[in-house]
Chains A and B, each alone.
Chain A
Amino acid sequence: MHPILADPRRLLWYELAWLAAGVGIAALLRLSGQAEWSGALEFALPICLVWSFVAVSSYYVCRSLPWSQRRWPVALGLFGGVSMLAALGWLGLGEAWDSLGGLLLRGRPFVALSSAGWMMYFAAGFALYLLSLLAHDVLVAFESVQAAARREAESRVLARDAELQMLRTQINPHFLFNSLNSISALTGFDPAAAREMTVDLAQFFRRTLALAERERITLGEEVALCGHFLAIEKRRFGAKLQADLRVSAEAAACLLPPMTLQPLLENAIKHGIRQVDGGGTIAVDALVRDGALHIAVVNPVSADDAPANAHGVGLKNIRERLAVLYGPRAHIAWQRSPAQFTIEIHLPVDKESGA
């Protein structure tokens, strides 16, 4: 929406400015001896009022040439050309109003300008439109600065949320205490397994802490982290939990934000595998295709379980986090069929320099 038309107060000031311009034009005509005061005012004021609504179009002209992509010769040419066209329209409007309007309301033209007078009037129209373009340009620049500041503030908030979310994942108390309970159980009858699980748990937390400090890690590093996570969960859930990770060598070298895949696996277990009587397999596929990194996670779900709105919160967090980091270049989508949940992520390929 146009910033002036959308705001009544701005519109009022805008119209007042145009009326002032009308008075200015009338004064010009009067002082140059082209017309009497009354005729000049009756001629200029209505035209300026009507023209004010034509001049708002300059907003869109300014928007078509954003500051960041502006080349000055093009901008000058466009502004000059558009102002020239507008001035022609302005001239036509002036002549029509003078003869027709004057004839209807007064029986004779308001002002009968000489050709020099019309030239002056034409030049005023050119100048006014150019002025309107410049004023709108300032307005557009001001708006975009404001919008940028707002966007930056928003993304800062989202980034902080994502960070908090990640911290929470790092120390998921449920996961930690249940794992410790499993270790406690294992010590009684399988000390070797208990020891292995302890090491996996330690490795998982150590890697999480190390990776979380970095902005980007390779998918290979994330997969290694997930390996420890899955080893722990397999101890807890036994044969119920199977995992099948297929990560191409090219995909493994791609960079992505830490803890992108791990929360997906955690979700797949919590809302999928755990709820299905016989358990099932989590399938992870990662490959590079058409210049994008594709990651898909598929897991079975219980058909009679309530629709996956429990999934919702966690997935929305991941979506927001990716949106903050990648903007429109990242895609995440999920869908649920009666027995299966699929989530797909597409990220731009980003590799370590030299890798």
Chain B
Amino acid sequence: MTSSQRLRALIVDDEDLARRLVREYLQGHDDIEIVGECDNGLDAVKQIGALSPDLVFLDIQMPRLTGLEVLELTGRRAGVIFTTAYDEHAIKAFELHAVDYLLKPFSKARFDDALARARTLHAPAAPAAGAGLDALVARRTAPLERILIRDREQVHVVAIDQVECIEAQGDYLAIHAEGKCHLKPQRISEIEEQLDATRFLRVHRSFIISLAHLQAIERPGPDRHAARLRSGKRVPISRSGYEKLRTLV
């Protein structure tokens, strides 16, 4: 077997013993090379970017970032095997999107199965994988609690309460929070779906505002409305946005 066919694997889990077990299970598989281990989500984001491994063993419940957030930030959509002890929501989502996962504690046979599947998906002739993961990351079950923004090597975590408004700027979203503005490559309709509809409202084609940060609705001209936010920022409101706002406020 040539080195180019070897799969390069990254093990991500905050428990040393759990990583050790994966390592042990991988011992019999000569075609897999362990290129790194991470004990938290933030480190995993960096390592996935730096090493671009073929295969990632990814724990869900980790400090700093969850496994799903790691995927969201890295844009990785294939070659992932989730490991989790217990997470009803995640498991439901995995089932729904036919994503492979290992329930701790798992047997060697179950592990080998998952590995075999990962190998076939990685083969050059394999059908495009990743649709399931894509949907998994995009369509989360619970509303967004924080927004993650990757800025080169850094990851910013913005709590959802701090977000005052979100503005579409081309292919990017400008997320305004606490006097700062973060850019994130995402469509406004996508984030709109993920946000809690009782706390955020799309008031305009290019604007979502936080109702908690809304201070007043102004009327700069006939048939024109604008939202004034607590920070003093003004956001235009479209006609349909105004109708929605009136039923809510």
Report the separation of the CA atoms of residues A177 and B87 in the bound assembly, to the nearest whole angstrom: 11
Chain B 8-35 residues near chain A, CB threshold 8 A: 14-18, 20-21, 24
Tell me which residues across on chain B come within 8 A of A174, comparing CB atoms: 61, 85-86
Chain A 177-194 residues near chain B, CB threshold 8 A: 177-178, 180-186, 188-189
- Taking the complex as formed, is A76 at the interface, i.e. its CB lies under 8 A from any CB of chain B? no
Q: Is the CB of B86 within 8 A of A275?
A: no
Q: Is the CB of B61 within 8 A of A181?
A: no
**Nearest-CB distance from B60 to chain A (Å)?**
11
**Nearest-CB distance from A153 to chain B (Å)?**
31
Q: Is the CB of A236 within 8 A of B85?
A: no
State the total of A-B contacts with C-beta under 8 angstroms: 60
Tell me which residues across on chain A come within 8 A of B221, comparing CB atoms: none
Tell me which residues across on chain A come within 8 A of B18, comparing CB atoms: 178, 181-182, 185
**Nearest-CB distance from A169 to chain B (Å)?**
14
Q: Is the CB of B157 within 8 A of A306?
A: yes
Tell me which residues across on chain B come within 8 A of A274, comparing CB atoms: 14, 63
Indicate the member of B40, B63, B106, B146 with the most A CB atoms within 10 Å.
B63
Q: Is the CB of B20 within 8 A of A189?
A: yes
- Tell me the B residues contacting A by CB distance below 8 Å: 14-18, 20-21, 24, 40, 61, 63-64, 85-86, 103-106, 146, 157, 159
- Tell me the A residues contacting B by CB distance below 8 Å: 173-174, 177-178, 180-186, 188-189, 235-238, 274-275, 277, 302, 304-306
Report the separation of the CA atoms of residues A302 and B15 in the bound assembly, to the nearest whole angstrom: 18
Known: A173-B85, A174-B86, A306-B159. A181 touches B146 (CB 8 A): no
Q: Is the CB of A306 within 8 A of B146?
A: yes
Q: Is the CB of B15 within 8 A of A236?
A: yes
Report the separation of the CA atoms of residues A302 and B16 in the bound assembly, to the nearest whole angstrom: 20
Q: Which residue of B lies closest to A236 (CB)?
A: B15
Known: A178-B15, A236-B17, A274-B14. A184 touches B85 (CB 8 A): no
Which 9 residue pairs of A and B lie closest in terms of their CB atoms, listed nearest first?
A185-B21, A181-B104, A177-B85, A185-B17, A181-B105, A184-B105, A173-B86, A182-B17, A178-B85
